[in-house]
Amino acid sequence: MATHGVKKPFCTRIDRAEWIDRRLAELYPETPVPLDHKDAYTLLLAVLLSAQCTDKRVNLVTPALFRLAATPAEMAQRTVKEIDAIVRPCGLAPRKAQAIRELSRLLIEHHEGAVPASFAELEALPGVGHKTASVVMAQAFGVPAFPVDTHIHRLAQRWKLTNGKNVQQTEADLKKLFPREHWNALHLRIIFYGRQHCSAHACDGTVCEICRTVVPTRKRALVTKK
């Protein structure tokens, strides 16, 4: 097994993080945004729809949604029923549809129709939690952020970068371990790697290259904490 210059053993989280950072950059030098969008507003809606839904399905749904309305002013004029008819395949409807219409109205009312570039203002919008706000801040505005979804949370546990108590703790731990200027690309690289090599079906903590390299002594499947 190739170790790509790794010095064993990995005694600390920092050792593991440094190697993971380098290896993921080698594997994924380019970090395209997985969700199709044309601006901060369409990205915000796509990220909102991605909750408990795959990016692939969201990308199948959003073209019709953006034909219906591609700006807050246009969306605020649509009914929840019209929006729901399009976004229903993404799940959690009509709650997502209601959030899309209401946040569009609030963007007009409080932000002159623009998506705000601050965590606090984003998280005040309906349907927008910290993870969604982090994605928008990172990918639309280039502000360093480390969005942590369930999959990144699980991979961080498998790679012994966190104790896995919750996603909030995992985000804090990852921010301490990796350089701030790497966060935006790195969270995408972890997503890409997880989908290709370290999914729940493909790896149990003992199979993929990173798991085998950073925790070489693990012999049994790892049960991760949600």
- Residues marked as catalytic: 131, 149
Residue 44, C-beta contacts closer than 8 angstroms, at least 6 positions apart? 103, 115, 122, 128, 132, 136, 140
Taken in order 96, 98, 99, 105, is the CA torsion positive or negative? positive
The contacts of residue 195 (CB under 8 Å, 6+ apart) are none
Q: Beta-carbon neighbour count of residue 70 at 10 Å? A: 16
Are 46 and 64 in contact by the 8 Å Cβ rule? The answer is: no
What's the burial of 7, exposed, middle or buried (CB within 10 Å: 0-12/13-18/19+)? exposed
Measured from the Cβ of residue 78, the count of other Cβ atoms closer than 10 Å reads 18
Counting every residue written for the chain, the total comes to: 226
The answer to whether the bond into 144 is cis (omega within 30° of 0) is no
Q: What distance in Å separates the CA atoms of residue 2 and residue 218, rounded to the nearest whole number? A: 18
